Structure 1
Amino acid sequence: MSGLRRRLNSQASMPRGPRVPDPVGQEEEKMSIFPDREAAFEQKFVHDEEVAFLVRMARERRFGLWAAGRMGQDEEAAAAYARSLVKGALDGKTDAELLAEVQRDLAARGVSASPTELQQAMLQAETGARTQVMGADPSALDRR
């Protein structure tokens, strides 16, 4: 037994590895990271929503200008027509409602356009709008 006691006593006096830092301090440090991450996620969400809004408004404008061109409208009338589509989007009209409105307006002018053709034109307008918004200087977006 004395051999066992000696071994236990010698192990008790040996250092047991690196000193463990204060767990309370670590916990506080970890907790301070979460509000920072939460704020970053909120900022990203706000940014993404802002970009989506700008893309949609630019898309409606481009799509309206395309449709006005198909109707043979002059530059001033085309700009007014594009603004009316942007206003419709701001008022909560869905894509389907805007497409139907444009199709009615084209038909009233004697211009035929299939729903597929209109959807493709809207998709092209969205692609151009996304490029415009994503590649634009933020101060240039404020001037439109």
Structure 2
Amino acid sequence: MTTFDDRERAYEAKFAHDADLRFKAEARRNRLLGEWAAELLGKSGEDVRTYAMSVVSSDFEEPGDEDVYRKLAGDLEGRADAETIRAKMAEMMAEARRQIIEELD
């Protein structure tokens, strides 16, 4: 096996690992967003978990974050504006990444 082959395999492995971590962080962010939104909606108990999972599922509609944003914006109409939702999305992504990294250590 050549050095080039080794480098190529290492690059592919890193790419796959990074993609896996990104997927996990986005799913975690969406769950955290769902829990936040559920609180704003006055949900409690199992309803919080169910709603959070619906936010996670909404991310599979299309690539990117707009599908999650649309779900939250529609559900939180009158309770949170676009700026608040987008800020919370960024905040929860940072928190999700922090949690994932802590779990890896």
Q: TM-score, normalised by structure 1?
A: 0.67
Equivalent position SS for 2:2 = helix
Correspondence for 1:46: 16
Question: Is this contact kept in 1: 2:58–2:71, CA < 8 A?
Answer: no
Residue of structure 1 in register with 2:82 after alignment: 115
| Paired position in structure 2 for 1:71 | 41
Q: Map of 1:78-97 to 2, 5 A cutoff?
A: 78-92=48-62, 94-97=64-67
- Equivalent of residue 102 in structure 1, options 72, 84, 91: 72
Listed one character per residue, the Cα deviations across residues 96-142 of structure 1 (whole Å, up to 9, x for unaligned) are 222122121122xxx4211000001111111110011111148xxxx
Identity over aligned pairs, percent: 30
Shift of 1:90: 2.9
Q: Which runs of at least 4 in structure 1 moved beyond 2 Å after TM superposition?
A: 90-94
Distance 1:78 1:92, change over 3 A: same
Q: How many residues align?
A: 105
Q: Which runs of 5+ in 1 are unaligned?
A: 1-30, 139-144
Q: Secondary structure at the match of 1:64?
A: helix
Residues 61, 67 of structure 2: 8 Å contact kept:
no
The structure, 1 or 2, with the larger RCO (C-alpha pairs under 8 Å, 6+ apart) is 2
